């Protein structure tokens, strides 16, 4: 069986021969759905600025992945975020996402069901 070789996107060499293997940081966020595109843009911009300043990498090498999950896909203590919001009387839209994210999810995140 032949080993797999991956090329470094920046120096076009096999990662095996790349002298800068840590120059392409990838940051992942797992978040509940409901944040606006503008909020995600701001998050990406500020995280990128911080990574560039701290790690000393080029801005164009920073990768940010945002994974959104539904309220029914996240639970704390066996209670889904959707059930937690419903128990607290939060207003939700047709998709089940809170209509006012900051006023519902952030305030009830620590509430007990």
Q: How far apart (Å, rounded) are the C-alpha atoms in residues 54 and 51? A: 5
Model pLDDT for residues 63-74, shown as the tens digit of each residue: 999 999 998 999
3 is catalytic: no
**pTM for this predicted structure:** 0.60
Residue in 3, 21, 25, 98 annotated catalytic: 25
Q: Going from the N-terminus, what domains does the chain have, and what CATH number goes with each?
A: 21-69 (3.30.429.10), 72-108 (no CATH)
Angle in degrees, CA 99, 103, 108, rounded to 5: 105
Model pLDDT for residues 17-43, shown as the tens digit of each residue: 555 555 788 999 999 888 999 999 999
Q: Is 78 left (phi over 0), alpha (psi -120 to 50) or beta?
A: left
Instruction: Kindly write down the DSSP assignment for every residue of 3-53, as one continuous string.
Output: PP--B-TTT-SBTTT-S-TTSS-EEEEEEES---HHHHHHHHHHHHHHHHH
**Which residue's structure tokens are 């797992």?**
30
User: Is the CB of residue 87 less than 8 Å from the CB of residue 81?
Assistant: no
Q: How far apart (Å, rounded) are the C-alpha atoms in residues 58 and 24? A: 9
The rounded mean pLDDT for the chain is: 76
């Amino acid at each position: 069986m032949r080993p797999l070789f991956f090329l470094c996107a920046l120096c076009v060499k096999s990662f095996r021969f790349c002298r800068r293997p840590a120059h392409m940081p990838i940051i992942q966020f797992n978040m509940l759905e409901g944040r606006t595109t503008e909020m995600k843009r701001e998050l990406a911009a500020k995280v990128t600025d911080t990574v560039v300043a701290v790690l000393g990498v080029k801005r164009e090498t920073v990768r940010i992945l945002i994974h959104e999950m539904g309220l029914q896909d996240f639970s704390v203590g066996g209670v889904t975020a959707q059930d937690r919001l419903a128990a607290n009387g939060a207003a939700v839209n047709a998709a089940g996402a809170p209509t006012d994210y900051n006023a519902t999810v952030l305030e009830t995140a620590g509430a007990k069901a």
